[in-house]
Structures are given as C-alpha cells and as structure tokens.
A and B are shown apart, each in its own frame.
Chain A
Amino acid sequence: MTISIDPQKTSNESLQPKGWLRYFSFSLDHKVIGIQYLVCGFLFYLIGGTLASAIRIELASPMSDFMPRDVYNQVLTLHGTIMIFLWIVPVVNGAFGNYLIPFYVGARDMAFPRLNAVAFWLIPPSGLMLVASYFVEGAAQAGWTAYPPLSITTPQSGQIIWILSVLLLGGSSIFGGINFIATIIKLRRPGLKLMQLPMYCWAMLGTSLLVVLSTPVLAGTLILLSFDIIAHTGFFNPVLGGNVVVYQHLFWFYSHPAVYIMVLPAFGLVSEILPVHARKPLFGYTTMVFSIMGIVVLGLVVWAHHMFTSGTPPWMRLFFTIATAFIAVPTGIKFFNWVATLWGGKISINSAMLFSCGFIINFVFGGITGVALAQVPFDIHVHDTYFVVAHFHYIVYGGTVFIIFSSIYHWFPKVTGKMLNEKLGILHFFITFIGFNLCFAPQHWLGLNGMPRRVAEYDPQFQLVNQISSLGALLMAISTIPFLINVFLSVRNGKDAGDNPWNALTPEWLTSSPPPVENWEGEAPLVEEPYGYGKEISEQK
C-alpha cells in the first residue's frame, strides 16, 4: 500500500519514455492511455472486420462452400466477441473517456492513474487470448452470447479460454468505470458545477454506472458457466437439473445495459461534435442530462425483451415490452435535440460533421426497428432472424462506429497537432455510409422473410439479396483504406492544426496541440459555458 503518490515521478516527462515508445510503456498519463486504447482497439477492429468479411463471403452463396459449418460458427463467435469487447467498449469508453474526461473536469489526470493503466494493460493479453482461443482444438462456437446448453455441449477448451478472456475484459471495464465515476464526481475543478460539464461527462457518468452495476453480474454468470464446463456442475445444464433460462436472465442483465454502454458514450461524443461544427449551443442541455439518466435507469430493467421466445410468462412480456417502449422517449428527446442543434446553424460540411449526420440517420433507423422488436408479436416473428442482425448493426455500427470515426476526425488535430485530409475523409465517409446501408438495409427484408441468423447455409431464394449485402460489406472493407492512408499521411506531413482549429469552446481546445503532460501550463481554465456559441456569434455582430 503506497501512501505517498508522487505525480512528479509518475507523469514527469523526464522519467517517461518519449516519442512513440511511451505508447508501449506502463504510462500513467491519461492521454497516452487513451491513445493506447484507441490504437489497440483499432487493431482488433481490423481483425474483427476481416472475420466479418469472411462471414459475408460465405453468405454470398447459399451453400457452405467457403468454410465448413463449424468454422463458420467459430468465426461469427470471434467476430461478435472481438467487435464488442475489444473494439467498441474499450474505444468508445476507454479511449475517448480517458483522453477527454480529465480535460472536461479540469483535472491533470484521472482519479486513479495506476488503476487506469492496469485497466488498459488487461486488454492486449486478453485480446490475444481470445484470438488464440480460435486456434486451439475445439474453438468457441456458441456465439458472443455463449448460451448454454450449446456452450456446454460443444468442444470446450476454446470456450474456457473465451470465458477467461471475457472475464478479464470485464474486469478492465469495471476498473475503468470506477475511475470515471470518481474522476467526474470527485475530481472536478473548484467552481465547476455538475450542470456546466460538457455532455460527454454525463454520458460517461451514466455509462460507468451501468458498467459498475451490471458487468459484475456477467462475471458471476460466466464463473458459473465455467463451473458447468470444467467441474460438470449443473447450473445451466437441464440434464443435471439446471435451468438455461437463468443463464439468459443473468446474461442479459449485463448484455442489455452493454448496448447502452456501447451507445451512450457515442451520444455524448456527438453532443460535443455537433455544436462545434454547427456553431450553435447544444439544444436542451438539461433534457439531455435527464434523458441520459433516464436511459440508465430504464436500461437496467428491460433485459428480458431478448427472451420473449424463452418461455417467458405473459406478465413478464407485458412489463418488459412497456419498459422497452419507454426507452424510446429519452432517446427520442436526444434525437430531436441533435436535430434542433443543427437547425439554423452555420453548418460546416466536413468529415466529422458528415459522420455525425450519418450517425443521426442510421441511429434513428436502428432505434425504430428497436421499438418494433420490443413488441412481443413482432419479436416472436423475427426472433433469431437477420432482422435482429440488421437492427443491432444499425445501432452499434451505424451508430457507435460512425461516431468513433467522427470523433477521430474531430479530435485528431488535438492529439497530433496535424489536420486530417478532408478530401480523403469525405471519400471515407461516403464509401462507409453507402457500404453500410447496402450491407445492412437488405438484411431487414431477409429477416422479415425468415432467414435465420448464425447459419452458414440458407434457402437459395435469398441469394440475390445476400449478394447485395456482401457487396456492401466489400465497400465497408474498402472504406478502411482511405482512412488508414489519411491517418498515416497526416501524421507525417499533415497541415499544422494550431491549438484550436475548430474554434471550439470546450476545455480541451484551450491548451496546446498536442497537450502538455498534466494538460495545462498553470491552472486549468474554468469553462462555465462549454456550448456558448450563440454568444460568440452575436458578439461578432
């Protein structure tokens, strides 16, 4: 137990490796950790994307000709797990949270810098373990949900490594959540009120509450599942008197909030980006805060809408349908607030803005199918079909991943001091947007017509639509190329950005680009109106 914490020693430049080497060190600087999360997550995104391409190649023809059926199951399991636990959750929480939250609360670092570094360094080993689980005999093939009895009866060594890896990633997530809550509540600069915080802080506070309350339940569930696999207990094994529905309840108690863990931070980030590029204050700040907290509370009591076909009793169906439909209210408030923020603004059409607008369009579509899926009769019709796949990807790819790219275009100048190339950025946006919609919009039709998900073979009548979808996936894969070229070219010889290229008002832009260690020369600025753009315009008049 150390009593004296020495910030000079822990974050002083002279004692830390310099240049790119610091990204491979146990650095305690929140900005370094943020970039570590982002780059590490992006590498796993490339792996997960390759697996997604393999799935779409397989589905271009009705027969399982590209890979055998069990390999298909293993590939989709790995794709889901990598994309959720190693790309979206770490990047949208860990990367942007670590980079931005200390600036927003006017602090020099996170509340617990060591815990922060530990939380990051849990990710690469567990990620490698997850990838390695594919190469052992009997790789995990029960999907990212790992439903028993499938996960108990299929070959087990891969499943056990999978469980261990997800447990470590859950631990990393909990440590991160504790850190964010403490930073936002306790580490605010004196004089900065809660209702003056940029919206991303509120989003991260809500997200971290969900992480702390629900992730441990997943951990406990997976421990019980591993008991079933290793020690042959019967918690979830009906043959031994167990109950598979208990697993589903416990699993979705985490995994439905996990959807909000993936999308709430994106709500926060888009609320930072839109006002800057529309030169208008964020519309309805207070309602935004209350809708985030409303989503947090409701998000914890809607999990059983994933289980309408699991013999759920009628009262439960009724309760969870109504509770789920209620989530549309705070989400709708947020949607209209974003549109109202854009309304009458001085909008600059750049890559960050385009990706944010793409997010709004995709997300409202995914939200509407979400409300539809909450209705029991409809859900029973499309349960476990491609409709669910399409809905889910409209939320996490069309929603969150679009915002991750938007945020990279928005904050790249702050992190590196260089601008990204706008032409390549706009090209990246259009290929991604067209490819994404081409890939996932047809899947609604496939699902409504009864094509089941997670099966390598399908009825030949679906072939044409599946090929259109695969073409979209190809475009999505291609869209990564202009992005990577853009990043590598701009890091080397991009245009100098200056400290505040967007003339933004949030605190991270009030320091140099890239920011110094400990964030500010001298005292942290007190930003009472992070979205005071209207004033600025009227003053100019």
Chain B
Amino acid sequence: MTTLDSSKEIQKNNSEVNETHEDFRMFGLITFLIADGMTFAGFFAAYLTYKAVNPLPDGAIYELELPIPTLNTILLLVSSATFHRAGKALLKDKNSDSQKWLFFTAFLGIIFLICQLFEYFHLPFGLTDNLFASTFYALTGFHGLHVTLGTLMILIIAWQSRINGGRLTSQNMFPLEAVELYWHFVDGIWVILFIILYLL
C-alpha cells in the first residue's frame, strides 16, 4: 500500500522491502508543459513567418481594438495571483479560505472566456476571411481551449478542497500545485500571444 505522507515523498511499503522515492509527478507535468509549449511555439513561428513573407491583401489589415485583450491580460495576471493566495491559504490549513480563492480564480477564468467570446462576436473578420483572420482564431482559440480546461480543473480542485472529506489538504498539495503550474503556464502563453498578436 502506498501512502502519500507528504507532497515531496511517496513511500512504498512492500511486505519485504521498504523503498522510498521522490515524487516525480511534478517533473512529468513540467515535461508535458514543455511539449505543450512547443505546440504554441510552432503556431507562433507559423504566424510570424506569415507576417514576414505573406503580404495581406488590401482591406485585410485591421487595427485590433485593445481594451478587451488588455482587460483579459489583467484578468489572467490577477488570477495567477489569486491562485497563489489559494495555495498559501491551504498550506496554513485554512481550507475554506483556499476554496474561496480558488472559486475566485475560476470566476476570473470564466470572465476571461466571456470577454474572449464577446471580442470574437465583434471582430470585423471571420475564420476563413484571410490568412491573418485564420491564424488569429487558431491561436486565440487554441489558447482559449487551454483556459477552458484550466478553469474546469480549478473547479474540480475547489470541490476537492471542501472541508469534510475533501482530498485536497495541506498534506496533499499536489493537485493544487499541478493545476497552479498549468495555470501560470497558460498565463505566460497569453502574455506572449498578446504581445505577438496585438502589439507587434
């Protein structure tokens, strides 16, 4: 029977041998995020190449409205901070505080998605209009998919941090740490995307 004594050590009690090893789930997650980051890197490389070598036809050059994406950037950065607060609260065994912060983070994620959809409906171009439009929707859509998955995972761990019978405790921080790392990763990708797509 393996029990997780702390988030850093998995202890394996065999009937004959007693072996311990490091918890490498976080290591696996980081490797996965590097792979995921390479997918975005491929998309960014494609977008920048198009920008450099494929001139757009007249009428396909848009001044993108900045208020909504700027608001979205702020939302995601704040949500990273609130997620961090949730982790701190859990570490001090303040489960209900932690849960509140988690719900607030998920709420910010949902607002982000609503703003994104609002922007989609008010853009002057559709998916197949031209090359810029296609890359715009592919990039933001792929990122939006990540935000959606992240928000769902935050809601799940918020449920798990409930006081009676919840799995998420200061003794078992891994689910929170994992989702937090993923969430910071998605934020980081958004910042790069915001700079490349809106500001450049």
Chain A residues in the interface with B (C-beta under 8 A): 1, 3-8, 111-112, 115, 174, 177-179, 181-182, 185-187, 212-217, 219-221, 223-224, 227, 231-235, 240-243, 246, 249-250, 253, 522-523
Contact = CB atoms under 8 A, between A and B. Distances in A.
- Most A-side CB within 10 Å, residue of B42, B53, B156, B175: B42
B128 interface: yes
B92 interface: no
A213 B160 contact: no
Interface in B36-80: 36-43, 45-46, 49-50, 53-54, 56-57
Contact of A213 (B1, B10, B35, B175): B35
A170 B156 CA distance: 28
Nearest to A183: B24
A238 B56 CA distance: 12
A233 B127 contact: yes
Contacts of A178: 28, 31-32, 35
Contact of A235 (B4, B40, B134): B134
Contact of B35 (A187, A216, A522): A216
Given A212-B35, A253-B42, A523-B17, A112 B28 contact: yes
Contact of B54 (A3, A215, A217, A241): A241
A224 B38 contact: no
Nearest to A520: B17
- Most B-side CB within 10 Å, residue of A223, A224, A235, A241: A241
Given A185-B27, A234-B128, A250-B46, A243 B53 contact: yes
Contact of B57 (A213, A231, A241, A250): A241
Given A186-B22, A217-B42, A8 B128 contact: no
A212 B53 CA distance: 29
A249 B57 contact: no
B123 interface: no
Interface of B: 1-4, 10, 12, 14, 16-17, 21-22, 24-25, 27-28, 31-32, 34-43, 45-46, 49-50, 53-54, 56-57, 127-128, 130-131, 134-135, 138, 142, 156-157, 160, 167, 172, 174-175
B27 to A, nearest CB: 6
A480 to B, nearest CB: 36
B48 to A, nearest CB: 10
A249 B49 contact: yes
23 contacts: A1-B175, A6-B2, A7-B2, A177-B31, A178-B31, A187-B24, A212-B38, A213-B35, A217-B38, A217-B39, A220-B43, A220-B46, A233-B128, A233-B134, A234-B134, A240-B130, A241-B57, A242-B131, A246-B46, A249-B45, A249-B49, A250-B42, A522-B17
B49 A232 contact: no
Contacts of A6: 1-2
A502 B152 CA distance: 54
Contact of B46 (A4, A235, A241): A235
A177 B135 CA distance: 29
B185 to A, nearest CB: 13
A234 B130 contact: yes
Contacts of A213: 34-35, 38
Contacts of A7: 2, 12, 14
A234 B127 CA distance: 10
Contacts of A112: 25, 28
Contacts of A179: 28
Contacts of A185: 27
B167 A182 contact: no
Given A174-B35, A181-B31, A241-B130, A235 B135 contact: yes
Contact of B131 (A187, A234, A522): A234
A233 B175 CA distance: 39
Given A181-B31, A250-B45, A1 B160 contact: yes
Contacts of A221: 42, 46
Contact of A216 (B10, B36, B53, B56): B36
Contacts of A235: 46, 131, 134-135, 138
A253 to B, nearest CB: 7
A182 B45 CA distance: 28
B134 A246 contact: no
